[in-house]
Structure 1
Amino acid sequence: MAQKCAIGLITAVAASVSLSQSKVASADGPFTFPAANPQQQAASSPPSTAGEESSAPPPRARNDNPRTSSGGFDPEALERGAKALKEINNSSYAKNVFESIKQQEETKQTEFAAKAQEYKAMQAQAETERQKVIYDEHKKLAQHQAQTKSQMARYEDDLARKRMQARNFIHTFTTFRASFLHSNCPTRNQELVKMQEDSAIRQEQARRATEEQIQAQRRQTEREKAEIERETIKVKAIAEAEGRAHEARLAEDVNRRMLVDRANAEREKWVAAINTTFDHIGGGLRAILTDQNKLIVAVGGATALAAGIYTTREGAKVIWSYVDRILGQPSLIRESSRGKYPWSGSVSRVMSTLRGKGSATNNGKGFGDVILHPSLQKRIEHLANATANTKSHQAPFRNMLFYGPPGTGKTMAARELARKSGLDYALMTGGDVAPLGSQAVTKIHQLFDWGKKSKRGLLLFIDEADAFLCERNKTYMSEAQRSALNALLFRTGDQSKDIVLALATNRPGDLDSAVADRVDEVLEFPLPGEEERFKLLSLYLEKYIAQAGPRKPGLFDRLFKKEQQKIEIKGVTEELLKEAAAKTEGFSGREIAKLMASVQAAVYGSEDCVLDSALFREVVDYKVAEHQQRRKLAGTDSK
């Protein structure tokens, strides 16, 4: 494309130069102007002989400028143009030059189009002005016509009045003359008077008719004037509306064209930016791929970066797993008074100690919310004191076994035992060991190693111990479970000064004999008696009913949450609680807690949020019947 344009430009330059040379006469060329007078030319030329004419050489054109030809053509401009076009063609910006020329031409075309639109807008404005002038001329013409008609009507009225006066004068004169001639005849006088009266009446009627005609013409003129004004206003409004619409269309076209041009300019700018970016990227990649040293450096840097990231990530994982294994809490622990890390349990330990002291003070006997049989509670308090003294004297701890029906307070008793004795508390379940498989042995060793790090000593409570500490000669016991049992037996073979092992089970007969041999204290947790059930009902009545909803709401709760209602207790006395305690024979402590939770739900389901004796008895009777039905389904009914 650039070569074609260059060839065309060279051709145009050559044509223009040749045309200019053809139109300019050289002073030294062979062309000479003829003389003004042929006779003078003949006289001035000397006579020559035939021999001189034959021997004289032909005239030669003088060329003072060595760069021009004999015809006066200077090729220097053409050579410069060809050289410039050749440089443009060889340059990398040849395409940009022609693109620039093209953009300049498009810009000029856009300017010409904008000027054309401006001329059209000016033409529309001139047309609007012309319509306005026509409207003014029509208005003036209508006013002049109305004024002329009014003057003509007034002039005709004056003429009619003058003619009427003249006729009346002639008629009066004639009548007077007739009356004068016939003054002696009375009949004539009467006729004359009558004629005068008739003439006066006719004159008045004519005057009235003339006035009515004048008024009618005036009204007609006013109506025509108003009609002309309405038509003029209508024409003016239509012309103005058309002018505004035309201007709006022109402005809309101009705005649309400007928006299109702006959008095209933005698109071209972004396309150019994208192309430039990719050109730079491509140039960089090309430079890297073509230069072997740069390629080696780039590949080495990317490899080193990837290796550094991978090494850092994997190293951080390894270091954190090592720190978590050394300092962290074992995965078998479900609940603990110690924090996950040594530095994270200080505040929680202090708060739990303060809460324990507060609850002990409130209870009076110093055993929290745990309500047991008096003999069992006394035994646990004795064990707590003995364990505390054992820790202070650096003597070995004694392992314990808690057994009894579900929900009788074994876990709560173990927690209170640890608190009273000043030990840390950790809870695990036997069902978490079986899914570990071959990792169970490692986890158990990690658990005991973690327990030995406690400065205060640790009470390790294993709930549902029969899940993995059952008899080893059973056929369904896997090799991993047997290995886990052996690992625990190995860690508890000797008396420990760091860990108190407390086992809880509902089926003590399923435990392995070696496990039973490692137990020093065996405590049975029976179902609560009537006195214990009465205390439990009183405790949970205070906790779930009397103290329900006294929490002071915050600002967020006041704005977006419904205000809590305080439960009002009516008619629930100690006799009613004793009656309920007698009805709930065979209930565990957990079932009594669920019973009072059901009472709370029934109160919240009522409209007035009031607990009375009837509602309390209804819920108690329903839960007692449900308990009996559940015992029948389980096949444990004593009857």
Structure 2
Amino acid sequence: MSWLFGLNRGSAPAGGGDAAPGTAGLSLPPAPGGGTGTVAGGGTGDRQPPKDKWSNFDPTGLERAAKAARELDASRHAKDALSLAQMQEQTLQLEQQTKLKEYEAAIEQLKNEQIRVQAEERRKTLSEETKQHQARAQYQDKLARQRYDEQMRQQQLANEENLRKQEESVQKQEAMRREREMELRHKNEMLRVEAEARARAKAERENADIIREQIRLKAAEHRQTVLESLKTAGMLFGEGFRAFVTDWDKVTATVAGLTLLAVGVYSAKNATAVAGRYIEARLGKPSLVRETSRITVLEALKHPIKVGKRLTSKAQDALEGVVLSPQLEARVRDIAIATRNTKKNKSLYRNILMYGPPGTGKTLFAKKLAVHSGMDYAIMTGGDVAPMGREGVTAMHKLFDWANTSRRGLLLFVDEADAFLRKRATEKISEDLRATLNAFLHRTGQHSNKFMLVLASNQPEQFDWAINDRIDEMVNFDLPQLEERERLVRMYFDRHVLKPATEGKQRLKLAQFDYGKKCSEIARLTEGMSGREISQLAVAWQAAAYASEDGVLTEAMIDARVADAVQQHKQKMEWLKTEGAEASKGTGRNPLLPFTKGTPV
């Protein structure tokens, strides 16, 4: 029956009208030949297909369908089944209509959403076009302003050029006028001189006799006066000499006076030399000393305020402003404490050798050590000794005589000491330099409580063995590592850039960026660079800001200077390797060996 109900539902009218029980339509399945047939109660069949398509038609299917239809009509539930099928069909139609309306509503909502999106896109497009128009208008206005400024500048240059040409023209006219005036004045002067010469010649010709007589009378009078003066002087000198010779008391007094005068001159000469040497040793500065904190009379007279501040200054930390590795910092701090206590107890000072690459803080620490210990410092350079020649021995003795007169104690810092303290057995050292080295060894043979010797060298292996015997402690100042470089970068950035920018006393401003992150990045990039090179890099940042139009130091400018410094450092290292390779060919050793980490000297 369910199969039959399906057949009835499939053949129900679209309007949902009822069908007669005996005439219910029945849709048949396709025939084996591909055709369809419809059986209606009491109706007629469709048009017969051609014989060639229905030649294999089986009529038993129609019979079975007719039999099923008759059974369905004879059933007492036929009307109920038909009504139920119609209701189901109506329900399906209602569901289809509901789905169709929902689909139409979704399509309408989608259209509304599409319209809203299009409106939003159109609004954004209009906003973007407005921004573009504004930017284009601003840019055009900027270009117009620039063109106007350029036109004004060109006009100003043209006006200046015209003014300069006018001034040159006026100057040329003035010069031509002065030349004409000078020519006229010269002509007038020549005419005047010529007229005066003619007049003088005419007067001389007319008065020649009178002039010759006047000259003759003047010459005769002058001759008479000279002869009388000579006679009078001879008479006076003769009488005086006769009286002096005849009086023995006057002769004795004269001889004694001349003798005392000679003795006084000789004594004054020697006394002046002794006093000069004493003043030079006590108050003057030796010629070998380049820089000193010891106060001289001349310096006190020239800079009284500076000298007063130095006398009233307190002791400073020996490592203030000096950035070293933790191990080296602990070691040099012990040296500073020991030196300060040695000065307080008036004990014997120890001699120190500081070696390492240039720019690692050797000279700076020597100054800080002297100030921390309450001593005076004096800095000399080994390269100044060789040019002195024979005067080197005398200058060396004067240096140590001057050092021994210090009341506070003197820290004698010899920079580039290997320049004159090299091995005496080599043929490269001259006789004068060898004599100066012997004088230095003589004056430093024993420890002193007057001065402390601090040597600094980049090549300590060239020292004479006697110099190594006089060194009590050696300190290696190596290149700064990452942590030390970051501290150096931050310190010099604060000193040369951040502090001047915040104080506002200089034409320097700083753009907004992460300063701490930038300092850490620079510290990583500056591997192998010394403290002096990092300081020069900070000065380069300051110079870049000064060279800019607005005085603002940007992050890009800092990066550019860092890249240049790194490239220059690499170039220096290449030169150093080339020089080391050339030197190693003759010596059989690497001159960079003392600076290799972990290699003893």
Return the TM-score normalized by structure 1: 0.48
Q: CA deviation at 1:284?
A: 9.7
Within the candidate set 366, 381, 390, 1:429 is matched to 381
Q: Name 1:599's counterpart in structure 2.
A: 541
Instruction: Output the CA distance in 2 between the equivalents of 1:535 and 1:296.
Output: 91
Secondary structure in structure 1 of the residue aligned to 2:471: coil
Are the structure 2 counterparts of residues 287 and 409 from structure 1 closer, same or farther at C-alpha, using a change threshold of 3 Å?
A: farther
Work out whether residues 337 and 349 of structure 1, in 8 Å CA contact, stay in contact via their aligned partners in 2: no
Work out whether residues 508 and 542 of structure 2, in 8 Å CA contact, stay in contact via their aligned partners in 1: no
Are the structure 2 counterparts of residues 436 and 290 from structure 1 closer, same or farther at C-alpha, using a change threshold of 3 Å?
A: farther
**2:289 is equivalent to residue 333 of structure 1:** yes
Q: CA deviation at 1:351?
A: 2.1
Secondary structure in structure 1 of the residue aligned to 2:411: strand
CA deviation profile, 1:461-493 (whole Å, cap 9, x unmatched): 001100110011001111111111111111111
Greater radius of gyration (CA): 1
Q: Name 1:494's counterpart in structure 2.
A: 446
**2:573 is equivalent to residue 631 of structure 1:** yes
Secondary structure in structure 2 of the residue aligned to 1:503: strand
Within the candidate set 507, 517, 521, 1:579 is matched to 521
Q: Name 1:244's counterpart in structure 2.
A: none
Secondary structure in structure 2 of the residue aligned to 1:547: helix
Within the candidate set 478, 492, 495, 1:543 is matched to 495
**2:353 is equivalent to residue 401 of structure 1:** yes
Report the AA paired with residue 455 of structure 1.
R
CA deviation profile, 1:523-557 (whole Å, cap 9, x unmatched): 1100111111111111211222123388898xxxx
| Count of aligned residue pairs for this structure pair | 344
Secondary structure in structure 1 of the residue aligned to 2:441: helix
Q: CA deviation at 1:602?
A: 1.1
Structural RMSD (CA): 4.2
Are the structure 2 counterparts of residues 418 and 511 from structure 1 closer, same or farther at C-alpha, using a change threshold of 3 Å?
A: same
Instruction: Output the CA distance in 1 between the equivalents of 2:520 and 2:473.
Output: 34
Q: Name 1:534's counterpart in structure 2.
A: 486
Instruction: Output the CA distance in 2 between the equivalents of 1:628 and 1:286.
Output: 93
Work out whether residues 508 and 546 of structure 2, in 8 Å CA contact, stay in contact via their aligned partners in 1: no
Instruction: Output the CA distance in 1 between the equivalents of 2:547 and 2:222.
Output: 72
Report the AA paired with residue 585 of structure 1.
E
Q: Name 1:79's counterpart in structure 2.
A: none
Q: CA deviation at 1:315?
A: 9.1
Q: CA deviation at 1:350?
A: 4.8
Report the AA paired with residue 310 of structure 2.
S
More displaced 10-residue stretch of structure 1: 278-287 or 493-502: 278-287
Instruction: Output the CA distance in 2 between the equivalents of 1:570 and 1:503.
Output: 45
Report the AA paired with residue 325 of structure 1.
E
Q: CA deviation at 1:572?
A: 4.7
CA deviation profile, 1:103-147 (whole Å, cap 9, x unmatched): xxxxxxxxxxxxxxxxxxxxxxxxxxxxxxxxxxxxxxxxxxxxx
Work out whether residues 469 and 512 of structure 1, in 8 Å CA contact, stay in contact via their aligned partners in 2: yes
Work out whether residues 426 and 459 of structure 1, in 8 Å CA contact, stay in contact via their aligned partners in 2: yes
Instruction: Output the CA distance in 1 between the equivalents of 2:223 and 2:504.
Output: 68
Instruction: Output the CA distance in 2 between the equivalents of 1:317 and 1:295.
Output: 41
Instruction: Output the CA distance in 2 between the equivalents of 1:371 and 1:286.
Output: 92
Instruction: Output the CA distance in 1 between the equivalents of 2:227 and 2:281.
Output: 53
Q: CA deviation at 1:370?
A: 1.6
Q: Name 1:292's counterpart in structure 2.
A: 233
Are the structure 2 counterparts of residues 390 and 529 from structure 1 closer, same or farther at C-alpha, using a change threshold of 3 Å?
A: same
Q: Name 2:433's counterpart in structure 1.
A: 481
Report the AA paired with residue 488 of structure 1.
F
Q: CA deviation at 1:331?
A: 1.0
Report the AA paired with residue 599 of structure 1.
W
Within the candidate set 614, 619, 622, 2:564 is matched to 622
Q: Name 1:352's counterpart in structure 2.
A: 310
**2:323 is equivalent to residue 371 of structure 1:** yes
Q: CA deviation at 1:322?
A: 3.5
Work out whether residues 508 and 553 of structure 2, in 8 Å CA contact, stay in contact via their aligned partners in 1: no
Q: Name 1:56's counterpart in structure 2.
A: none
Within the candidate set 357, 362, 370, 1:418 is matched to 370
Secondary structure in structure 1 of the residue aligned to 2:390: helix
Write the mapping of 1:80-159 to structure 2, written as runs, cut at 5 A. Answer: none
Secondary structure in structure 1 of the residue aligned to 2:380: strand
Instruction: Output the CA distance in 2 between the equivalents of 1:282 and 1:467.
Output: 76
Report the AA paired with residue 329 of structure 1.
K
Return the TM-score normalized by structure 2: 0.51
Work out whether residues 380 and 417 of structure 1, in 8 Å CA contact, stay in contact via their aligned partners in 2: no
Instruction: Output the CA distance in 2 between the equivalents of 1:491 and 1:386.
Output: 23
Work out whether residues 318 and 368 of structure 2, in 8 Å CA contact, stay in contact via their aligned partners in 1: no
Q: Name 1:442's counterpart in structure 2.
A: 394
Secondary structure in structure 2 of the residue aligned to 1:501: strand
Work out whether residues 570 and 611 of structure 1, in 8 Å CA contact, stay in contact via their aligned partners in 2: no
Q: Name 1:451's counterpart in structure 2.
A: 403
Q: CA deviation at 1:374?
A: 2.1
Q: Name 2:155's counterpart in structure 1.
A: none
Instruction: Output the CA distance in 2 between the equivalents of 1:286 and 1:503.
Output: 80
Instruction: Output the CA distance in 1 between the equivalents of 2:349 and 2:462.
Output: 25
Q: Name 1:126's counterpart in structure 2.
A: none
Instruction: Output the CA distance in 2 between the equivalents of 1:578 and 1:621.
Output: 15
Instruction: Output the CA distance in 1 between the equivalents of 2:386 and 2:576.
Output: 27
Q: Name 1:300's counterpart in structure 2.
A: none
Q: CA deviation at 1:598?
A: 1.2
Within the candidate set 522, 546, 568, 2:510 is matched to 568
Q: Name 1:521's counterpart in structure 2.
A: 473
Instruction: Output the CA distance in 1 between the equivalents of 2:342 and 2:321.
Output: 25
Within the candidate set 461, 466, 471, 2:423 is matched to 471
Q: Name 2:341's counterpart in structure 1.
A: 389
Secondary structure in structure 2 of the residue aligned to 1:334: strand
Report the AA paired with residue 352 of structure 1.
R
Work out whether residues 281 and 401 of structure 2, in 8 Å CA contact, stay in contact via their aligned partners in 1: no
Instruction: Output the CA distance in 2 between the equivalents of 1:433 and 1:498.
Output: 22
Q: CA deviation at 1:634?
A: 2.4
Are the structure 2 counterparts of residues 611 and 286 from structure 1 closer, same or farther at C-alpha, using a change threshold of 3 Å?
A: farther
CA deviation profile, 1:43-89 (whole Å, cap 9, x unmatched): xxxxxxxxxxxxxxxxxxxxxxxxxxxxxxxxxxxxxxxxxxxxxxx
Work out whether residues 540 and 561 of structure 2, in 8 Å CA contact, stay in contact via their aligned partners in 1: yes
Q: CA deviation at 1:595?
A: 0.8
Instruction: Output the CA distance in 2 between the equivalents of 1:289 and 1:551.
Output: 86
Instruction: Output the CA distance in 1 between the equivalents of 2:314 and 2:291.
Output: 17
- Identity value in percent: 38
Instruction: Output the CA distance in 1 between the equivalents of 2:421 and 2:457.
Output: 10
Report the AA paired with residue 537 of structure 1.
V
Instruction: Output the CA distance in 1 between the equivalents of 2:291 and 2:235.
Output: 59
Instruction: Output the CA distance in 1 between the equivalents of 2:542 and 2:340.
Output: 39
Instruction: Output the CA distance in 2 between the equivalents of 1:590 and 1:523.
Output: 19
Q: CA deviation at 1:437?
A: 1.4
Report the AA paired with residue 292 of structure 1.
A
Instruction: Output the CA distance in 2 between the equivalents of 1:317 and 1:612.
Output: 64
**2:465 is equivalent to residue 508 of structure 1:** no
Instruction: Output the CA distance in 1 between the equivalents of 2:561 and 2:235.
Output: 85
Work out whether residues 300 and 307 of structure 2, in 8 Å CA contact, stay in contact via their aligned partners in 1: no
**2:566 is equivalent to residue 611 of structure 1:** no
Q: Name 1:460's counterpart in structure 2.
A: 412
Write the mapping of 1:44-59 to structure 2, written as runs, cut at 5 A. Answer: none
Secondary structure in structure 1 of the residue aligned to 2:423: coil
Q: CA deviation at 1:395?
A: 1.6
Work out whether residues 509 and 545 of structure 2, in 8 Å CA contact, stay in contact via their aligned partners in 1: yes
